[in-house]
Amino acid sequence: MPPPSKDRNEILLAARGLKKHFAVKGGLLQRAIATVHAVDGVDLVIRRGETVALVGESGCGKTTLGRLLLRLIEPTEGDVLFNVPEDVFERMRANGPAATQDDGQTKELIRQYSITRRRRRSMKALRRFMQPVFQDPFTSLDPRMLVKDIVAEPLLVSGLATRPEAYEQGARLLEEVGLRPEHLYRFPHEFSGGQRQRIAIARALAPEPEFLLLDEPTSALDVSVQAQILNLLKDIQRKQNLTYLLITHNLSVVRHMADRVAVMYLGRILERKRTAELFSNPLHPYTKALLSAVPVPDPKRRRERIILPGDVPSPIAPPAGCRFHTRCNAVLPHCGWSPRDIAATAAHMFDPSRNPDASELPPLEEVTIRGDEVLLLRYREPATESNRLGVEALVKARAERPEGIAFRAIQYVRLDGGRILLEFLPAKEPELLEIVPHHFVACYLYPGVTSATN
Amino acid sequence: MHRGAKAWLDTSGWRRRLKEYALILRLLMKSPPAAVGLIIVLIYLGIVIYDQFWVPNNDVMIANFSATGPDPPFWWPGGKAAGGWMGTTFPGIDLADAVLKAVRIDLIYSTFVVLTGALVGSLIGVVAGFRGGLFDEALMRGTDVTYSIPFLVFAIAVAFALQKRDFLTINMILLILWWPPYARLVRAQSLSVKELKFVEAARAAGASDARIMLRHVLPNTLAPVFVQISLDLGVVTQIFAALEFIGFNAGNLFLPELGNLINIGWTWGFESHPWTILMPGIALLIFTVSVNLLGDGLRDVLDPRARR
Amino acid sequence: MEPILVVRGLKTEFLTSRGLLRAVDDVDLQIRKGEVLGLVGESGSGKTVTALSIMYLLQQPPGRIAGGEIWFRGLNLLAGSDEDIRVVPRTVGPPKFLPADDLLKQHRARMNRVRGHGMSMIFQEPMSSLNPVLRVGYQVAEVLMFQRRQEICDRLLSRRDLTDADLGLFRQAVASGEASERERLVAEFCVRSGLRPEKIHALIDASGLPIDERIARVRRLAVRRRRGGGWWLRFLKRLDAMEEIHFTREWERLSRLSLGQPAVDLFDPKKNPRAKGLPPLATVSPQPDALRLYFHAAVGSGGDRRKGDLLVPSEDLRARVEAHLRDSASGVFGAIFGIVKSVGITEDAIELRYREPATDLFRTETELWSRRLLYRIATSIPVLRSVLARPIEEEARRHVVELFRLVRIPEPTKIYDEYPHELSGGMQQRVMIAMALAGEPALMIADEPTTALDVTTQAQILWLLKDLRTRIDSAILYITHDLAVIAELSDRVAVMYAGKIVEAAPVADLFANPLHPYTQGLLQSIVSTESQGLEPGAPLPTIPGVVPDLLAPPSGCRFHPRCKFAFDRCRVEEPKLLAHGPNRRVACHLYPEEGASAAA
């Protein structure tokens, strides 16, 4: 076990194929009836001294990822590596994702650096190096404790200081975050939101951590206070050489804080790059939409807005292929359209009683989805070749229209024992690839992006 | 820095907490019923302390077998000076003295039962709520069972089964039945408290589960427990009196206890000697009403929304 | 454009355990028809309390509206809410004393009607504003059934062919367009009691009696028959509703009589510098049909005057008063004195004559009442209830689906049957907006509707509100702490700090040239995706310090402890909100009054 405080290795924290699935329980016996894919295979590297921002809408799994990195919850699969030397990490990466199973040496390395495979007891010694700051300062401070006890708690539980030392340290920390020592003897409810967040930061700084997880640290605060807190965080980082992971849905905060950005959607990372480049040249359509959603404080500039339609789909059954394709404004036929995207439309469109254009078809009996690629139409009488041609023509006509993009993904229209089969392009998830140096995108719009291997 | 202020530093935290309690007290005194309840409860507590330390023979009634029958209080129509403030009951027991002693016994035992029940129940409840799982499930089903048992009937049944009908046995029986409501109360509260972010922050700081439960979750669930305690004090006192009244005093016929006193008076009949029943009865009534008033007041004050 | 809401000198206080907290202190606001006014401020600046005061939704006792006027479509909503109004001046005889309880009841009933139909509110937390155990569609339908019953009933009745004899009677009563309230009431009597209509007529239509007397007679009759069944009690309630109308008329009269103070504020040259051209105002006398202004005769150039020496008005003075009134028409006073039809002269006073009292508002109130009555009839007759309740709900459902379409909810029929927790935050907020729109309000108050939402959802909601502006004609009071959102949506902005308005301006002017140092600070501290010309890594500009404790606000200008331009005067004297150029007002000593009034 490498003592993490002594040799300060380049890579402070890394996620490796990290997954977290929650079981949805239901029914009389509280049995698992579905799985929420909160984090679904994330690779992320956080180097010492940098600020990485994790951006996405609520429900995309970014908070879960943060909790996994601190091992506040146990991952379903994958590892969180802590304090890894660059060369070791390269070796792990070179041996590939499959290496965990067969290559004994890599497996040993991973076991050595992984904090998710540690025992709970030995994990406790590492806790002080990684501290969180939460979004809502109104619930993150125990209302029954004095500020001095709140700030001193991490020191006391990790045995870093005696009680008087801890209180003295607390007074010093409060000054550092811009409060006064007499605030030690107050209860949290006597403070405003911004001041509470300062207390939460002081608590996180108490055990002299190396890594702070900032989970939406300013989104519950006023705009004017937000700038103060961001300045404070930057200041502390510069003084103590801290590493930050900043979780936020607001890209304007990212611009001022982060060195690198990872954009997350439905448990996957869609784009990863340096902050400045993200703002000057966003590549993924989702990133573009996020960027344009930030309101501009200038009434004269009327910017072209990309309004994302609808909400984030349910992580219980994330869309096939590229997870963003259902809301994407630059979507392609091979982005992962599947029969369930058009099943409702099809029931309407291929039914002669509801769609006059389909009048020559026999009455539609049933529409079924088979697997991820096939939609079955069953008519009251066995379909003939001319019926097939009719359906094909309808599909073609619909595919011409701009909203018929999903129909362009229909590869073949076939006859199968009196039923008509609509076969879709296979839905594969795009892989996160380096399009421009240091700029990773998972989107089929960019040449060279192939489907991921999993 | 601030090294010199260390002495101030150590006491100031306590001072600050005391200020918070003083605020609760002030808010409590603002509502007249709660203030009345509090004052009466404090008077009863004073009686208990006085009896405990300054009254000799505080656990037995002084009888005078030469007396012919109960005397009314001196202010009663036809009363004599011999009757004293509250009159006497047979055999020559001065009711003023007996009621004061009875208050001590009733309060001490009911407080013991309620506080022990609250302590045990809260601890079990917080563990159940925080840990969940099989323990939680077993506990909840267990409390369901105890809810279905009527206290009085259970106490009587067990006492008969054990062939022991003294005061201590009743205490033990009540203890068995008294913690589950507290466990439920605290469990329900801790289910919501444990989802709050400060619990996660404590975990990230490396705090053990025990510390999180005792330092963070439990204190934040206690407000309704205090209310319940004050309400239960009245209930348990009444149960004691009721059991004593129906004769659960085999150990000590001269035990100064409100139910026992009422029982003694009742054998003489209410019509002819009403004060023998009225005096202990009123003492019991006033106490029960005042703890209820206090409990209702506490419910309002401990609600954080009331603290603007 | 006429202002539909004018707030003048609003003061709202809270009684806390630590003392009296004045959360809103002397706030003036004004919203024109179809306009979006952004109200900006940090948390604790009193912007939400302002909104709650306007809606009269404040928690009272701890809260209290301590002063000011809220004029909504020409009526002061606050009159009747406090005790001052107890004394009612009368044209003849001594003033009448109205018991405060009656007026309070009146005021509550009126506010209930104004809320929803007149103005509605969208809250910050959609999840906690929706009832978790009811389907969202039904919750909107409930609002509809409450606000627009008549419409729904009418539609239904015109569609249905009822055969039962009772129903026929009912139909006859409600479907005849020219039936008066009384006749409808009679019709209901018949239906409910089985009496011959003629008899009822004879009982209540003692012609020539004033309406009060008629009501009293019916009441007596009803009381006598009370043992007959529960519906008599309900009928009494309906009579109360009728009396409400009576009160409404009374209320309008009252409201006209309460114009005295605004008149002093407008025409007294001592109070209003822009009235300098007028002679000193002696007194005003509000009458039900007019407002009389008495002026002192100014003696000599120094303006000396003896008390009681009234000026005999001349045609010239009349013209000046009229001109002054016209000049002020665009401002706060324009809305209040909008009911003035003409300016005339009497022998000792100038008379502002009002329009006829039978206003539109009165008519809508009456109509509203009859709607409520109809709905009650429809749902309280057992036969009708079973026949009509379902269809009424179905009709309401159709309305709701239309509303859902209006706020761009996809698959509205499906969403109708879902529970709040099944919807995302953005969708819940859309349902809330649909609910706010259900009463077709003239004013929507949106209290931080996007603060709890994601940036992408916020963009959707903002776009929806902008889109709605083109399709409905309600004005919006948009409350937020984020100036960037204001820039996207509003026409005008009012900046609030520590319970006071510090700056008010059209949105373009404010962003191009913020005047108040607080506004400047707020604008600079916005964290934007643009680089704002900052060096990378340079600290963001902020406003130092925190919002002051309103229990002990700073002396003088409340912003001075945080202001980098503060000088001595700021610490002592509180700046007034003064005009600075056209359309702009600012409360800051940096902008001298002389220049301000000259520019105005």
Query: What is the domain-level CATH number for residue A391?
Result: 3.30.1360
The reply to whether A329 falls in a domain is no
- Given the cut 0.85, state whether the ipTM is greater than it: no
Assess whether A75 and A179 both reside in one domain. no
The reply to whether A182 falls in a domain is yes
Mean pLDDT of B210-237: 88
CA dihedral (A199, A204, A207, A210) positive or negative: negative
Does residue C370 carry a pLDDT above 50?
Answer: no
Does residue C301 carry a pLDDT above 90?
Answer: no
Q: Which residue has the higher pLDDT, C600 or C549?
A: C549
Least confident of A58-62, C442-446, C595-599: C595-599
Beta strand segments in C481-577, E: 492-497, 500-506
What total number of domains does chain A contain? Answer: 3
pLDDT of residue C160: 37
Least confident of A64-78, A357-371, B41-55, C401-415: A357-371
Assess whether A212 and A98 both reside in one domain. yes
Least confident of A89-98, B290-299, C68-77: A89-98
Assess whether A104 and A160 both reside in one domain. no
| Of A153, A180, A156, A152, residue with least CA distance to A168 | A152
Using the beta-carbon criterion (under 8 Å), do B16 and A185 form an inter-chain contact?
Answer: yes
CB-count exposure of residue B6 (10 Å: 0-12, 13-18, 19+): exposed
| C433, containing H or E segment | helix C425-438
The reply to whether A78 falls in a domain is yes
Using the beta-carbon criterion (under 8 Å), do B205 and A207 form an inter-chain contact?
Answer: yes
Q: Which residue has the higher pLDDT, C97 or A431?
A: A431
Which residues of chain B have a CB within 8 Å of the CB of C62?
Answer: 308
Contact B261, B98 (CB under 8 A): yes
Does residue B73 carry a pLDDT above 90?
Answer: no
Write out the two tokens for A227.
């700038």
Mean pLDDT of C144-155: 60
Does residue C176 carry a pLDDT above 50?
Answer: no
Assess whether A256 and A387 both reside in one domain. no
pLDDT of residue C494: 94
Nearest neighbour of A141 by CB, restricted to B3, B198, B204: B198
Assess whether A269 and A170 both reside in one domain. no
Does residue C204 carry a pLDDT above 50?
Answer: no
The reply to whether A274 falls in a domain is yes
Assess whether A198 and A217 both reside in one domain. no
A19 phi, psi to nearest 5 deg: -135, 145
**Average confidence score pLDDT of chain B:** 81
Instruction: Supply the DSSP symbol for C311.
Output: P
Could you tell me the CA-to-CA distances from A230 to A138, A201, A217, A234, B55 in Å, in that order? 18, 11, 9, 6, 68
Contact B227, B298 (CB under 8 A): yes
Segments forming the whole domain that contains residue A107: 11-148+205-280
Q: What percent of chain B clears pLDDT 90, i.e. is strictly above it?
A: 10
Is pTM beyond 0.90? Reply is no
pLDDT band at C157 (very low <50, low <70, confident <90, very high): very low
Is any Cβ of chain C less than 8 angstroms from the Cβ of B308? yes
β-strand partners of A34: A24
Task: Write the secondary structure of chain A as one string of H (helix), E (strand) and C (coil).
Answer: CCCCCCCCCCEEEEEEEEEEEEEEEECCCCEEEEEEEEEEEEEEEEECCCEEEEECCCCCCHHHHHHHHCCCCCCCEEEEEEEECHHHHHHHHHCCCCHHHHCHHHHHHHHHHECCCCCHHHHHHHHCCEEEECCCCCCCCCCCCCHHHHHHHHHHHCCCCCHHHHHHHHHHHHHHCCCCHHHHHCCHHHCCHHHHHHHHHHHHHCCCCCEEEEECCCCCCCHHHHHHHHHHHHHHHHHHCCEEEEEECCHHHHHHHCCEEEEEECCEEEEEEEHHHHHHCCCCHHHHHHHHHCCCCCCCCCCCCCCCCCCCCCCCCCCCCCCCCCCCCCCCHHHCCCHHHHHHHHHHHCCCCCCHHHCCCCCEEEEEEECCCEEEEEECCCCCHHHHHHHHHHHHHHHHCHHHHHHHHEEEEEEECCEEEEEECCCCCECCEEEECCEEECCCCCCCCCECCC
Beta strand segments in C225-359, E: 281-286, 290-295, 340-345, 350-354
pLDDT band at C390 (very low <50, low <70, confident <90, very high): low
- B30: nearest CA in chain C? C17
Nearest neighbour of B197 by CB, restricted to A136, A157, A189: A136
pLDDT band at C216 (very low <50, low <70, confident <90, very high): low
pLDDT of residue C95: 47
Mean pLDDT of B284-307: 79
Q: How far apart are CA C179 and CA C192, in angstroms?
A: 18
Contact C286, C256 (CB under 8 A): yes
Is any Cβ of chain B less than 8 angstroms from the Cβ of C123? no
Contact A427, A269 (CB under 8 A): no
Assess whether A128 and A258 both reside in one domain. yes
C36-40 and C63-72 beta bridge pairing: unpaired
Write out the two tokens for B177.
């039945």
Assess whether A144 and A157 both reside in one domain. no
**Average confidence score pLDDT of chain C:** 72
Q: From A179, A204, A229, give the residue that closes a domain.
A: A204
Domains of chain B in sequence order: 33-307 (1.10.3720.10)
C492-497 and C475-480 beta bridge pairing: unpaired
Q: From A280, A300, A322, give the residue that closes a domain.
A: A280
Give the residue from C15, C17, C58 with the most B CB atoms within 10 Å of its CB, the best one to mutate: C17
Assess whether A78 and A159 both reside in one domain. no
Least confident of A74-83, B100-109, B151-160: B151-160
Q: How far apart are CA B76 and CA B95, in angstroms?
A: 14
pLDDT band at C472 (very low <50, low <70, confident <90, very high): confident
Q: Which residue has the higher pLDDT, A340 or B236?
A: B236
Is any Cβ of chain B less than 8 angstroms from the Cβ of C14? yes
Write out the two tokens for C542.
């902020």
pLDDT of residue C335: 61
Q: From A280, A298, A323, give the residue that closes a domain.
A: A280
Neighbours of A6 (CB within 10 A): 7
The reply to whether A16 falls in a domain is yes
Is any Cβ of chain C less than 8 angstroms from the Cβ of B307? yes
pLDDT band at C178 (very low <50, low <70, confident <90, very high): very low
Using the beta-carbon criterion (under 8 Å), do A297 and C459 form an inter-chain contact?
Answer: no
Mean pLDDT of C502-516: 91
- Contacts with B214 (C-beta within 8 Å, 6 or more apart), sequence order: B126
pLDDT band at B243 (very low <50, low <70, confident <90, very high): confident
Least confident of A176-180, A349-353, C207-211, C455-459: C207-211
Write the pLDDT tens digit of every residue in B159-212: 788 877 777 777 788 888 888 889 989 999 999 898 888 999 998 888 888 899
Residue type for C10, please?
L
Contact A397, A361 (CB under 8 A): no
Instruction: Supply the DSSP symbol for B158.
Output: H
pLDDT band at B7 (very low <50, low <70, confident <90, very high): very low
Assess whether A172 and A61 both reside in one domain. no
The reply to whether A306 falls in a domain is no
The reply to whether A216 falls in a domain is yes
C475-480 and C443-447 beta bridge pairing: parallel
Q: Which C residues in the span 43-82 are in contact with B, Cβ-Cβ below 8 Å?
A: 62
Per residue of chain A (454 residues), give pLDDT as tens: 444 445 667 888 888 889 999 888 776 667 778 888 889 888 899 999 899 999 988 888 888 999 999 988 889 988 898 888 888 888 777 665 544 555 567 777 778 788 888 887 788 888 888 999 998 888 899 888 888 889 999 988 888 888 888 888 889 999 999 888 888 888 888 888 889 999 999 999 998 899 999 998 888 888 888 888 999 999 999 998 899 999 998 888 888 888 999 999 998 999 998 888 888 888 899 998 888 888 888 877 766 778 888 778 888 888 888 888 888 888 888 788 888 777 777 777 787 777 777 777 888 888 888 877 888 888 888 888 888 888 888 888 888 887 777 888 888 888 887 788 888 888 788 888 888 888 888 888 877 655 544 3
Write out the two tokens for A179.
């409060």
Highest mean pLDDT among B7-16, C331-340, C457-466 belongs to C457-466
The reply to whether A225 falls in a domain is yes
Assess whether A252 and A376 both reside in one domain. no
Assess whether A224 and A359 both reside in one domain. no
